Amino acid sequence: MSTSARRLSCLALLAGLIAAGMAPGLAQAAQRIKEVAAVQGVRSNQLMGYGLVIGLDGTGDQTAQVPFAAQGVSSMLQQMGITVPPGTPMQLKNIAAVLVTAQLPAFAQPGQQIDVSVSSIGNAKSLRGGTLIVTPLKGADGEVYAVAQGGLIVGGAGASAGGSKVQINHLSGGRVPQGATVERAVPTPLSQGDSIQLDLNAADFNTARAVAAAINTAKGAGVAQAVDGRVVRVRAPQDMNDRVSFLADIENLPLELAKPAAKVVLNPRTGSIVMNQAVSLAPCAVAHGSLSVTINSTPVISQPNPLAGGNTVVSEKADISIAQQGGSLIQLPASAQLSDVVKALNALGATPQDLLAILQAMKAAGALQADLEVI
């Protein structure tokens, strides 16, 4: 791809993903309440446990450098009635100490199975082909909510010999699908009280008002009340069957939301720039150029004559050059549509890294009608 093509395509992906659906006269699809809010208390819970993976092909932990792996094996053997004398050297290259994590879904009941993620915490080279042995998974309160065990699926491969190594993807982590069995359910406040609370994903007074209005229109005046920009309180039936049906109805109610606040998100590490549909430009003029400084250092050796009695001296010769790329002043017209903003910025012929500085300067000059957020 040529340089000019790269410049013109610096925001082509942005235009294709966002601006294509923002043409004048194209209606925006309405959102549902379930996409902007969640019922308070209906959430997943994080579980974590320490375990061992066995059956590795010599790619496990080096127990001399990972002492807790040997301690874990000793504890496991003691539970099975096998006592290992203290101080016994253990060379366990087929075992790896791992950390097991899982998400306990809302309303999960004992006997149901969930997926678990397994990650090495030692210096194991690979977990491929290993089996996770019984590992209790605890919640934030220290109680055991699930027990994990099973064969690992590692999405990678590797081989090494004679100091050479080939590896595909990551080998020190994997998953066990349906590898944990739920042992305890987490109570939820869904059935408590005569009302439920909807928590918005983002604080916005307009969205809270729209959610309350949609519920009142469908279920009757006064059923929902917007408490603030994040919370909507809703009166719900006392009977659990009726309450579930009530929630199913209000979750699918459509919302006609106003245009969101204009925002531009910048990522200086990757040069990514993302704008939403509300971004607009005021008339402005922009000049862009680049300045490069090149420094070359060349060693120079000064050798004295054989009878001069001097010493050999090594010095450096530095060549410094400065190149400045000219940039003409470009006038950008007022742009109300996102597609026009993309075209105007592409006209600058700047790379995404340059646009990071240009957008900040345009914001400081008052020409960019949007909030800048750096992540």
Query: For residue range 226-241, what is the model confidence (pLDDT) as tens digits?
Result: 999 899 999 999 888 8
Give the end-to-end CA distance of the chain in Å, rounded to a whole number. Answer: 29
Question: What confidence score (pLDDT) does residue 225 get?
Answer: 93
Mean of the per-residue pLDDT values of the chain: 79
pLDDT-derived band at 133 (thresholds 50, 70, 90) equals very high
Average of pLDDT values for 39-52?
A: 91
Q: What's this model's pTM, rounded to 2 decimal places?
A: 0.65
Average of pLDDT values for 251-279?
A: 82
Average of pLDDT values for 264-277?
A: 82
Contact 194, 238 (CB under 8 A): yes
Which of 103-112, 114-123, 187-196, 338-347 has the lowest average pLDDT? 338-347
- Rounded Cα distance between 137 and 147, Å, is 6
- Rounded Cα distance between 25 and 5, Å, is 30
User: CB 65: neighbour CB atoms within 10 A?
Assistant: 9
pLDDT-derived band at 167 (thresholds 50, 70, 90) equals low
Of 47, 187, 68, whose CA–CA distance to 118 is shortest? 47
Give how far Cα 144 sits from Cα of 23, 48, 313, 345, Å: 54, 9, 72, 55
Question: What confidence score (pLDDT) does residue 162 get?
Answer: 60
pLDDT-derived band at 47 (thresholds 50, 70, 90) equals very high
Question: What confidence score (pLDDT) does residue 294 get?
Answer: 61
Which of 33-47, 109-123, 345-359, 360-374 has the lowest average pLDDT? 345-359
